[in-house]
Amino acid sequence: MKRLPFSGWHLVLAPLALLFALPLVWLLVSSVMSNAEINRFPPALWPHGIKLDGYRYVLGNALFPRWFLNSFIVSAVAVTANLVLGSLGGYAFARIRFAGSKLVLGLMLATMVIPFQLTMIPTFLVMKQLGLIDTLGALIVPSLVTPLSVFLFRQFFVSLPRELEEAAWIDGCGRLRILVSIVLPLARPALSTVAVLTFLATWNDLTWPLIAINSDSTYTLQLGLTTFQGQHHTQWSAVMAGNVITVLPVLLGFLLAQKAFIRSLASTGLKG
């Protein structure tokens, strides 16, 4: 690669990028400080050596591992279900002619504009009727499939040429077989977009777990972290260690699949 010449823009961009990065750097730094360093006045700005006390506390005594597992279960089920149900629904809306399809699709898309606050009380009451309140089921059921997932798959399938499927169709292949063995292998961009958006939404959600969950053993990481902060107000290094653990999966996912993340999020904007 050819070396690019130095540009004056670095003088603007480097401090700007640093400004955005600094709070996260501080998150990492303070998670390896000792409580003595944090609790003196004025607090230290840089640690003297790395202390893992915070992580030891969080992983040993608290319910953090359990909360991590809960968050993981909810996100994993939600991502899988959105990929399966979203692609099934999206494929049917894109390719199969059936009575009422336009009406139902329109209705589903219209529900995207409903703010969550409007549905949260009745959703709570529905989950209570189903006996799911205070279980992971209450978190999983509403996130099994979103209209956005169905819509993103539909848009992608509409853009694929029909000819790819025609030969298989004429040979008597069923729709499900065509979807699984011909269409989905070509749908990696759509699959990764839906996976990324679903994972971000479920992993990061606080509002709904706050409403639907009461027992601390059923908390998700976001809810657990929030209550943990309230209860351990003086153990900031442990709180920050917990915070690092909460943020890390999303951050790692982002850094590993940055292109997919950015394309997914930008696409929600440009198609809107």
Residue from 59, 69, 104, 132 binding another protein (CB under 8 A) = 104
Q: Does 36 bind another protein (CB under 8 A)?
A: no
Residue closer to another protein, measured from CB, 52 or 206: 206
Q: Does 34 bind another protein (CB under 8 A)?
A: no
What's 52's DSSP letter? -
User: Helical H runs in 160-233?
Assistant: 163-170, 175-178, 188-204, 207-212, 221-231
Q: Does 222 bind another protein (CB under 8 A)?
A: yes
In the range 186-205, which residues lie near another protein by CB under 8 A?
A: 200, 203-205
- Interhelix angle 64-95/101-110, rounded to 10 degrees, is 140
- Which among 213, 220, 221 has a CA at the least distance from the CA of 244? 221
Q: Does 215 bind another protein (CB under 8 A)?
A: no
Report the alpha-carbon distance of residue 243 to residue 240 in Å, rounded: 5
> What would the two tokens of residue 189 be?
């961009």
- Interface size with another protein, residues (CB under 8 A): 99
CB-CB neighbours of 235 under 10 Å: 20
Q: Does 131 bind another protein (CB under 8 A)?
A: no
- Closest contact distance (angstroms) between CB of 11 and another protein is 11
Residue from 4, 161, 163, 215 binding another protein (CB under 8 A) = 4
CB 54 within 8 A of CB 234: no
Q: Does 132 bind another protein (CB under 8 A)?
A: no
- Which among 268, 257, 253 has a CA at the least distance from the CA of 72? 253
Residue closer to another protein, measured from CB, 64 or 261: 261
Q: Does 106 bind another protein (CB under 8 A)?
A: no
CB 198 within 8 A of CB 188: no
Residue from 58, 64, 68, 86 binding another protein (CB under 8 A) = 86
Report the alpha-carbon distance of residue 265 to residue 268 in Å, rounded: 5
Q: Does 54 bind another protein (CB under 8 A)?
A: no
- Closest contact distance (angstroms) between CB of 199 and another protein is 10
In the range 138-167, which residues lie near another protein by CB under 8 A?
A: 141-142, 144-147, 150
- Closest contact distance (angstroms) between CB of 242 and another protein is 8
* CB proximity list for 187: less than 8 A, separation 6 or greater: 87, 153, 156, 157, 160
Residue from 36, 125, 130, 180 binding another protein (CB under 8 A) = 125
Residue 82: exposure state from Cβ atoms within 10 A (0-12, 13-18, ≥19)? buried
- Closest contact distance (angstroms) between CB of 254 and another protein is 5
Q: Where does this chain touch another protein (CB under 8 A) — which range of 50-58, 60-68, 96-104, 180-188?
A: 96-104
User: Residue 42 is which amino acid?
Assistant: P
Q: Where does this chain touch another protein (CB under 8 A) — which range of 51-59, 72-80, 186-194, 262-270?
A: 262-270
